[in-house]
Amino acid sequence: MAAQRRHSVTMALLSWLLLARPGAAYARSFGVTVQGGYVNANFRNVPDPYGIFTSLNSFAAGIRLGWPVGQALEISTEAMYIEKGISYGNSEATDPFGNPIGPVEFLHVIQQVEVPVLLRWRIPVQWGVRPSLLGGPFVSFKTGELFKATGANTGSESVDDLNDTDYGIVLGASLDHKAGPGRVVLEGRYDLGLADLRFLGAHATYSGALSILAGYSF
């Protein structure tokens, strides 16, 4: 089932790419942005003693379609692959004889396809670099969930502990600058998850992720 879901997601992303290919720019009324970058994720509202969980360092990548509304506004929708979750922190790994062999970090990773619908407002300033503010809702669908070990010991195991869907609000800002036929884009955003992930059973736990993305619009 998970393999079929990943195949469907891959085919959907390829369809978007074919629709948005640069050679078809003359025929479309929307802009296309390909972007990716760093994600710092964690769970919110985790009670003590579980509050010692640390942030997970991961990544996101995807494509955005944007439709201009007047001179300063744009409505956009995206398909983003993103990894969220937590780190259980570092500990010392040992060999079968009990000898230390180095640090190991244990991670709980949620692999998702996230679909935000955002309103972007370009701040009306006459600069070479154009600043914008953005915000709107998102929904995401789990394509995989892993318990991973990295460092001196490596490995992963598929698990299914968390809800399959998440939703929430995206807030952020971006800068873009003319480069060739398009524009280079640098964006910072925060995903505020509002769906209970059911991480600790009866205690409501939510996702959160700070992303720094770079991309190219054409």
Domain residues for the domain of 44 are 37-217
Residue 4 lies in a domain: no
Does the residue 100 lie in any domain? Answer: yes
Residues of the chain with pLDDT under 70: 1-28, 48-51, 201-202
pLDDT at 99: 80
Residue 13 in domain: no
Q: Is 95 exposed, middle or buried (0-12, 13-18, 19+ CB in 10 A)?
A: exposed
**What pLDDT was estimated at residue 49?**
60
60 closest CA partner among 176, 189, 165:
189
How many domains in the chain? 1
Q: What is the CATH number of the domain that holds 192?
A: 2.40.160.20
Question: Which two three-digit tokens encode residue 70?
Answer: 């007047």
**Distance of alpha carbon 46 from alpha carbon 39, whole angstroms:** 20
Which pLDDT does position 23 carry in this prediction? 45
- Give the per-residue pLDDT at 20: 47
Residue 29 lies in a domain: no
188: left (phi over 0), alpha (psi -120 to 50) or beta: beta
Question: 196: Cβ–Cβ under 8 A, 6 or more apart, which residues?
Answer: 163, 204, 205, 206
Contact 140, 166 (CB under 8 A): yes
Task: Give Cα separations from 154 to 90, 92, 157 (angstroms).
Answer: 13, 13, 11
Buried b (16+ CB within 10 A) or exposed e, 132-162: bebebebebebbbbbbbbeebbeeeeeeeeb
Domain assignment of residue 14, yes or no: no
Inside any domain, residue 25 = no
| Alpha-carbon span 84 to 143, nearest angstrom | 12
pLDDT of residue 184: 98
Is the residue at 43 inside a domain?
A: yes
